[in-house]
Amino acid sequence: MINYVLKIQENQTLLRIYRTVSSLIQLIPYYIVEEFYDDQKNLNVPLGKEDSEIGILTRDDMEFLGNHEESNVTTQELIRLLEGGCLCLAFRYKGEIAAYSWCDLNYLSFKGRIVALKQNEAYLFDARTYKAFRGKNIAPSVRNELCKLLKQRGIERFLSITLWFNIASMKFKQKLGAKPIELFLYVGLFRKFHMHFRLRNMAHIH
Q: How many domains does the chain have?
A: 1
Average model confidence (pLDDT) across the chain: 85
pLDDT score, position 85: 92
- Helix axis angle for 167-174 and 2-9, nearest 10°, is 160
The better pLDDT of the pair 193, 105 is held by: 105
Domain containing 140 equals: 2-41+101-201
Is the residue at 196 inside a domain? yes
Determine contact, residues 122/108, Cβ cutoff 8 Å.
no
Asked if residue 65 belongs to a domain, the reply is no
CA dihedral 119, 124, 161, 167 (to 10 degrees): -150
Measured in whole angstroms, how far is the alpha carbon of residue 146 from the centre of its chain? Answer: 12
Looking at per-residue confidence, does 161 or 10 come out higher? 161
In the predicted structure, residue 201 carries a pLDDT above the cut 60: yes
For the stretch 6-20, pLDDT in tens is: 555 556 676 676 666
* Residue 57: alpha-carbon gap to chain centroid: 17
206 belongs to a structural domain: no
* pLDDT score of 131: 93
Q: How many CB atoms lie within 10 A of CB 122?
A: 27
Are 123 and 204 in contact, with CB atoms under 8 Å apart?
A: no
Q: What integer pLDDT is reported at residue 206 of this predicted model?
A: 47
pLDDT above 60 (res 54): yes
| Mode of pairing for the β-strands spanning 96-104 and 87-93 | antiparallel
When pLDDT is cut at 50, 70 and 90, the band that residue 91 belongs to is very high
Asked whether residue 110 is domain-assigned, the answer is yes
107 assigned to some structural domain: yes
Helix (H) or strand (E) holding 53: strand 52-56
In a domain, 165, yes or no: yes
Say if 132 falls within a structural domain: yes
Is the pLDDT score of 24 beyond 80?
Answer: no
| Contacts for 171 with CB less than 8 Å, ≥ 6 apart | 6
Model confidence at 42: pLDDT above 60: no
Please report which confidence band the pLDDT of residue 44 belongs to, taking 50, 70 and 90 as the band edges. Answer: low
Q: What is the pLDDT of residue 51?
A: 80
Whole-model pTM over 0.85: no
**Is residue 69 domain-resident?**
no
